[in-house]
Amino acid sequence: MNIVTTINEWQSLRQTLTKKVGFIPTMGYLHQGHFSLCERAQQENDITVVSIFVNPTQFNQSQDFLNYPQNIERDIALLQEKHIDYLFLPTAKAMYEDQYSICVTETELSQELEGEYRPGHFTGMLTVVLKFLNLIQADKAYFGEKDFQQYLLIKKMAQAFFLPTTIIPCKTIRMEDGLALSSRNVRLNENQRKLASFFPKLLHSQLPLNEIKNQLEQLGFKVDYLVEKWQRRLAAVWIDDIRLIDNIELRNNLV
């Protein structure tokens, strides 16, 4: 695996790549959800590029940024095991040489759900994703459906700016008890982890939304939102100071 740490180095290298390129942008602390994206990229492309960058501009709470799990040595070893071709590891200084004075703002879809509860999050996310898509110049880029609103926004941005990269959604990968894989899960202690398992169970239930919300709150969750739209049931909850999101596909109004 080749590790590229500067933008100039990547741009020079990119000019030499003539085969199909698949791209997976990540914030690190990799898990099987990320690797499922890598596997699909490897199946559909000749070259697979993964980036690791904990993007400071998409954290609306500084403590969340500081608490975000990071272990680059672990991630590098895992990516080497998966035979990833290139790892791109830029610095925040390089990615935001303009001090974040230029950014990408979406004015409709980004105003609700995650956008309502995490002000500024989607502007930071879209800005950094556009930077990465411009840099990597991939044929296809892969995003997990756990962050479904994020996927919709990235797809919309790619279409609006006529980006040549195809945005590919990939199914959510779950633990045996149904909890969606997330880098933040590592912060859950044993009791919190047991409680977290009720989140996907109730999300998949046939109960009406108000009853699901009531049961989550009775169990000790704080519910930011629980809605049905985009043929999905989407929710965000807190266990103490750890925030989890999830969504499931709705078919014929049934889970």
Parallel/antiparallel/unpaired status of strands 2-4 and 222-229:
unpaired
- Identify the three-state secondary structure at position 19: coil
Measured distance CA(99)–CA(144) in Å, rounded: 29
Helices 148-160 and 121-136 meet at what angle, rounded to 10? 60
**For the chain, how many residues are written?**
255
> Which residue out of 34, 83, 121, 204 is catalytically annotated?
34
Measured distance CA(187)–CA(183) in Å, rounded: 8
Position 218, amino acid:
Q
> Is 34 one of the catalytic residues?
yes
**Spatial distance between the Cα atoms of 97 and 67, rounded to a whole number of angstroms:** 24
Catalytic residues, by residue number, are 34
